[in-house]
Each structure stands twice: as C-alpha cells, then as structure tokens.
Amino acid sequence: MRDSFQIITINPGSTSTKVAVFDDEKMRFSVNIVHSAQELGRFPEIVDQLAYRRETILNALNEKEVKMERTSAFSGRCTGLLPMEGGVYEVNDLMYLHGSMGIGSRHPGNLGPMLVRDFARQYGGRSFVVNPSSVDEFRPEARLTGLKEIVRVSRGHPLNQKEVARRYAAQIGKHYEEINVVVVHMGGGISVTAHERGRMVDTVDSTRGEGRMAPTRTGNLPAASLVELCFSGKYTKDELLDKIMKTGGWTDLLGTADAIEVERRITEGDEYAKLVYETTAYQITKDIGACAAALSGKVDAVLLTGGLAHAQRLVELITERVSFLAPVHVFPGEYEMGGLAMGALRVLRGEEKPKDYKGIA
C-alpha cells in the first residue's frame, strides 16, 4: 500500500498566516503564525512580504519536524486574480505573476500561489490553489444593474462555501454538481449564494454594500440617501468606503462586532441590541429567499456556515423563517484549510483534473 499523501495548506491573512499539514483527509496539526503590525510595517508592498512569510512558515514547520521532501502538494488560499471558474488550479507562471501584481485586488492572500509554488520548487511536489476569491460563475442576469456604468461582479467566500456544499452533498450521498443549495457564510462579512449544480450562479455579498448588514459592514443602503450623504461634506470618500466595508453594521450601530458581546447585552435587556441582532437575521432570510428564487425554488438545503453559525440565537431566528424553503443545516466555523487540502487531494487521486489559469477578465 502507498503512503498517504502529505499536503501542506497555507492561508495568508492580514495579520497572520495559517498553516496546516494533512495526511490525506486527516489534519495532522495546524498553526496560526501571528505577524505584528511592526513586522509587517517593514514592507512597503504586500509582495515584499513574500520572503518573510516563507521563512516564518518554514520555521513553524521545522519546529513540528515536518519532512518537507515528503510533501505531495502545497495548496494555498488565493486572492488578487482575474475572474475565473471555481475548481482546483495548478499554479502557473501567469498566476504567479498576477499574484505578485495583485491584479484583481491587493490582499495578503495574493501571496498564496507564490508561496506554494516556491515551496514546491524547493522541495518537490505540486502547487495548487482552490476556489480563489475571484471565482465568478454568475449568470448574465445576475450581472446587469440599472446603471450602464455599474455591473455586478461575484464576491463572497467561494473556498469555504464550496467546501461546505461538498460536505453536505457527501452526507446525502451525492456530488456537489448534483445539488442545489443556498449557502450563507456568516462572519465579519456575510455572503449568501445560490449554488446550482456546482456553480455559484448568484451571490449577495456585503463587502461592497449589498444585502444584509453584517458585524463590520453596512449592507444595502437606500441609494439616493447614500448619494446625499456622499455630498453632505460630513465624510470623505475613504471614510464612507470604510464605513461600508469595515466599520459599518454592528460596529457602527453598537460599537462592537463581537456576537458574544451583543448576545450578552440582549440577555441583560438591551432592546436596541436585540433589534439590531434580529434585523440582521431578518435581512439574511430575505437574501436566502432571493437566492431560492434564483434557483426557481428547487433548493435541496440551506447551509449556514462561518463564525456566526456558532451563534445559536441567530441560527434559530434564521431557521424559523426559511425552513419552509428547505431543510437548514449548520456547519459552524470555517473549512478553508480543509477545502484547500481536499481540493489538492482530489487532483492527486485523479478524481479531478486541475484547471489552467488563463488570466482572462
């Protein structure tokens, strides 16, 4: 019998780098390498962090006595690319270049394809990214808006969402490509997505001001009122963008993005905190209903995931309103590291062919 495949997964974030080692499906261990603002402040651009992050990862793996030469695949989280289909991609020269440029966005996740390919070149094995943040599988109808200058693009949490959908499909003895589900990722930002037979055909994401409010994001705002606020002189452009994408929602209304803190206030009788919390749940359910309509009502399940899926009160409020559509299943937390490993494993086992990044917007 062959030895198991050793897979190393790497997830670069704004203030940390998560690293995990898998033996086939089983996680051997994971570590979260924290980077101080002072350390990262030494680097003018994100790409300049590459050697530093590579060294910290290698040090962490050496401490765990990981035999790097045994690695069959390095699999990384990926941002900063042009729109692409979901799936597993083998890192090629163009992806490496676009990661270094941050051609689609500027985020530490841009380093993902660079880190995994550098390690693969040094120690052997293959380098992959799985369901990058730039996954865009929208229908044409999901893109058009009432202004010709504005076109909707796919934003959300494809890595975690697709992994959760795959796990649900396996639970019911089907493949992801055989089911229709609405997946709700609930964290600091919230995305609600219609998955139709393996494709994310429409997504309502709070990152740039769509859908429901989230702990750190405003969600949808009345457009005319927002325009008036833009020209009120009260805020600069950057200040308003920060409110929409970083300091809105619970942070603006309650002064905290912490669900435990909000629930504590509710328990102590804070009616305004209760209203904000229940409004969030109410708005999420409306987005779920919209995605169900996008699937013509043919929904096998509603799947709740992300950090806020641990919040039982929120889950109950959502379930109460949408259970008439389909069964509700909860996958609390994030499955990003597992998603990175399982995507690589499917390719190593010959169950899935890796795709080739073309860099076509």
Q: What is the DSSP string of 48-110?
A: GGHHHHHHHHHHHHHHTT--GGGEEEEEE---S---B-SSEEE--HHHHHHHHHTSS--SGGG
Order of strands across the sheet that contains 199-205: 199-205, 190-196, 180-186, 301-306, 328-332
Report if residue 78 sits inside a domain: yes
**Averaged pLDDT, 72-91:** 95
The residue type of 66 is V
In a domain, 331, yes or no: no
320 and 265 both lie in a single domain:
yes
Residue 229 shares a structural domain with residue 82: no
Decide if 217 contacts 211 (C-beta within 8 A).
Answer: no
For residue 41, the enclosing domain spans 6-134+337-348
> Does 97 have pLDDT greater than 70?
yes
114 with 154, same domain: the answer is: no
pTM score: 0.94
Close Cβ partners of 356 (under 8 Å, ≥ 6 residues apart)? 89, 90, 92
User: Is 279 in a helix, a strand, or coil?
Assistant: helix
Burial class of residue 252, CB neighbours in 10 A (0-12, 13-18, 19+): middle
The reported pLDDT for the residue numbered 172 is: 98
CATH code where residue 56 lies: 3.30.420.40
* For residues 224-244, average pLDDT: 96
**pLDDT band at 1; cut points 50, 70, 90:** very low
Amino acid present at 261: E
User: Confidence class of residue 184 from pLDDT cuts 50, 70 and 90?
Assistant: very high
Residue 356's pLDDT is 95
- CA atoms of 71 and 62, how far apart (whole Å): 13
Question: Is residue 35 in some structural domain?
Answer: yes
In a domain, 360, yes or no: no
Number of domains within the chain: 2
